[in-house]
């Protein structure tokens, strides 16, 4: 039998934060799961200080592994899910290797216990007790590891981030839809920019005309001054 640990990560939004949080916890309880950890930050949407960051709940939920898909379906049906990922870790080999080692340790523990009961020499008894202590210590460490595997296999852990928002994000679209939306937005921005330029150009015509007159006058003055300077130089050269 395969031993698989299935976990999930979910990011979701809601405009009804308190009701959504209560519904999540109620659903977990009905599925014979439990809340492993919970942390909340931010201000309520109705709070006078909510102009800043709204509330966000960071939850670690544990639900029976065979009910994970059902739970995720209910979450998707009641909340605006913006991200969801399920991971699977096959621990079959590790699980049975660990179980085999524990069985071996248990057999050796029983054998050493019998030897200790039948031993009459102090030196031998001390050696058996030391070996027995090492066996018990290793077995307990393996048992702790086995409990971690057993819990992970029996219960799926869902790391869920629930964010309170004023308006819900739109669901992800396909690549084609995103491409068309981007192209449409680009043309819209181009058209809007060109229209803004025309408006600016029309409104700036008087100023532009004034600048043309001023520049023209300055150029005329400079050219006229240059011509007078050249004529004076020529006249001085002729006098010499």
pLDDT for 198 equals 63
CA 150, 156, 161, 164 dihedral sign is negative
| CA within 13 Å, CB half, 11 | 6
Q: Report yes or no: 27 and 67 within 8 Å, Cβ to Cβ.
A: no
- 238 pLDDT above the threshold of 70: no
- 204/227: higher pLDDT: 227
> What's the pLDDT at 52?
56
> C-alpha distances in angstroms, 164 versus 4, 9, 136?
33, 18, 51
Contacts of 71 (CB under 8 A, 6+ apart): 27, 28, 31, 33, 61, 63, 158
Strands 155-164, 56-64: pairing is antiparallel
**Residue 146: closest CA among 201, 180, 106, 183:** 106
pLDDT at residue 179, as a whole number: 57
Is the pLDDT confidence value at 239 over 70? no
Predicted confidence (pLDDT) per residue in 80-117, tens digit: 999 999 999 999 999 999 999 999 999 999 999 888 88
Residues 145-151, mean pLDDT to the nearest whole number: 93
pLDDT for res 218: 78
Q: Which two tokens stand for residue 86?
A: 């399920």
| Residue 30 vs residues 37, 61, 212, 225: alpha-carbon distances, Å | 18, 13, 80, 96
232, pLDDT greater than 50: yes
Q: Is the pLDDT of residue 181 over 70?
A: no
Model-wide pTM > 0.75: no
pLDDT of residue 196: 59
């Amino acid at each position: 039998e395969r031993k698989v640990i299935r976990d999930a990560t979910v990011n979701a939004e809601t405009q009804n934060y308190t009701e959504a949080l209560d519904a999540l916890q109620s659903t977990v309880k009905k599925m014979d799961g439990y809340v492993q950890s919970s942390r909340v930050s931010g201000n309520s949407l109705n709070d006078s200080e909510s102009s800043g960051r709204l509330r966000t709940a960071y939850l670690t939920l544990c639900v029976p592994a065979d009910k994970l898909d059902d739970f995720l379906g209910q979450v998707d049906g009641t909340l605006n899910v913006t991200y969801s990922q399920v991971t699977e870790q096959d621990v079959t080999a590790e699980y049975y290797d660990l179980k085999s080692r524990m069985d071996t340790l248990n057999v050796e523990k029983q054998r050493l216990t019998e030897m200790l009961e039948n031993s009459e020499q102090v030196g031998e008894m001390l050696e058996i007790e030391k070996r027995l202590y090492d066996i018990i210590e290793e077995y307990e460490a393996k048992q702790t590891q086995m409990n971690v595997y057993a819990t992970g296999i029996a219960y799926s852990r869902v790391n869920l981030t629930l964010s309170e928002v004023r308006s819900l994000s739109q669901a992800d679209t396909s690549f084609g839809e995103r491409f068309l939306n981007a192209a449409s937005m680009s043309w819209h921005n181009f058209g809007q920019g060109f229209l803004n330029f025309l408006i600016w150009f029309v409104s700036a015509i008087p100023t532009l005309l004034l600048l043309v007159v001023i520049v023209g006058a300055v150029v005329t003055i400079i050219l006229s001054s240059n011509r007078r300077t050249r004529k004076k130089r020529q006249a001085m050269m002729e006098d010499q």
